[in-house]
Amino acid sequence: MDAGGTYWYTFLPIDSLGTALLAVPVGVGFIALGSVLSPVLLRGHFLLARAFLDPTQHMALEQRVRRLTETRHDAVDTSAAELRRIERDLHDGAQARLVAMGMSLGTVEALIEKDPAKAKELLAAARTNSAEALSELRDLVRGIHPPVLAERGLGDAVRALALRMAVPVEVDVDLTGRPEEPVESAAYFAVSEVLTNAAKHAGASRMWLDIHHQDGMLRITVTDDGRGRAVITPDGGLSGVERRLGTFDGVLAVSSPPGGPTMVTMEIPCALSAQGAAR
């Protein structure tokens, strides 16, 4: 390097034979320093490149994207099937009863003066149809989103659910708040499905339900003292629960040795609101 008539070798000015000879050990020092630092820098470059290009991380990301895609499709299919069920239940149940009640009231209007006794019979039948239609509508609404879940939260909703089970259920809920509504609904129906399956197929005499929130995860455990051998099959109830939880990046695990007990564990990542604690 030439700077104002003086040649520089890095930090050493070269203006005579003596200073030129001094450049030799400086160069040797740079060579030694390079031989020491080069492996360190090369390894650092390798680690940085591996962090960005590691195929295992890409595979994990691809698997996660694939799982979320599958669960999204499952959620869409489940929603479509649920809508068809609601339409069918309305058409075959409440709607048919309401139509029959309207026809009965029309007949009553025509008979009320000519045949009061027959009119009274038709009114009684219409009143029965209205009560049955109301009951069916309540059951339908409860199947979509139970009022107790909306009003009082997951804890009280699963306690009410446990009281309706044919098998005694011991419930332990420890939540300092409420999850978001979609997560809360998914958790409730997952618990309902698991409890119903256990009551129908496990031959259990008692069940235990534990719900708590820890480390950003809603953890639900359903245990029964039945015969065991529960497995997740493609068309089984547990598979449906797994797909329901997968919509929220949740997971389901089953431990069911022959002879029992069976433990179904569900985890859903979520945060709890500051209000609406349920204990």
Residues 256 and 154 in one domain: yes
Number of domains in the chain: 3
Q: 38-52, 68-82, 219-233: which range is least confident on average? A: 68-82
Per the domain annotation, does 10 fall within a domain? yes
- pLDDT grade for 82, boundaries at 50, 70 and 90: low
Burial status of residue 37 (CB atoms within 10 A of its CB: 0-12, 13-18, 19 or more): exposed
Per the domain annotation, does 95 fall within a domain? yes
Rg value, the chain, Cα? 36
pLDDT score of 78: 57
Nearest CA among 247, 279, 245 for reference residue 265: 245
Distance CA(32)–CA(73), nearest Å, equals: 61
Residues 23 and 88 in one domain: no
Residues 116 and 161 in one domain: no
Condensed to tens digits (0 to 9), the pLDDT of residues 211-269 reads 999 888 999 999 999 888 888 777 777 877 888 888 788 888 999 888 889 999 999 99
Decide which of 89, 113, 144 is a domain's last residue. Answer: 144
Per the domain annotation, does 65 fall within a domain? no
Exposure b/e, 120-140, CB count within 10 A at least 16 = b: eebbeebeebeeebeebbeee
Per the domain annotation, does 169 fall within a domain? yes
* Domain span including residue 6: 2-53
Per the domain annotation, does 224 fall within a domain? yes
Condensed to tens digits (0 to 9), the pLDDT of residues 85-110 reads 666 666 666 667 777 777 777 777 77
CB 140 within 8 A of CB 86: yes
- pLDDT grade for 79, boundaries at 50, 70 and 90: low
User: Distances from the Cα of 104 to the Cαs of 3, 107, 112, 137, in angstroms?
Assistant: 111, 5, 12, 20
Length of the chain: 279
Residues 140 and 153 in one domain: no
Per the domain annotation, does 89 fall within a domain? yes
Per the domain annotation, does 279 fall within a domain? no
pLDDT score of 277: 47
Residues 135 and 211 in one domain: no
Residues 95 and 188 in one domain: no
pLDDT score of 13: 73
Residues 168 and 251 in one domain: yes
- pLDDT grade for 172, boundaries at 50, 70 and 90: very high
Examine the pLDDT at 114 and tell me if it is beyond 70. Answer: yes
Mean pLDDT value of segment 54-62: 63
Burial status of residue 84 (CB atoms within 10 A of its CB: 0-12, 13-18, 19 or more): exposed
Per the domain annotation, does 62 fall within a domain? no
Q: 154-158, 203-207, 274-278: which range is least confident on average? A: 274-278
Residues 156 and 194 in one domain: yes
- pLDDT grade for 168, boundaries at 50, 70 and 90: very high
pLDDT score of 218: 93
Residues 47 and 106 in one domain: no
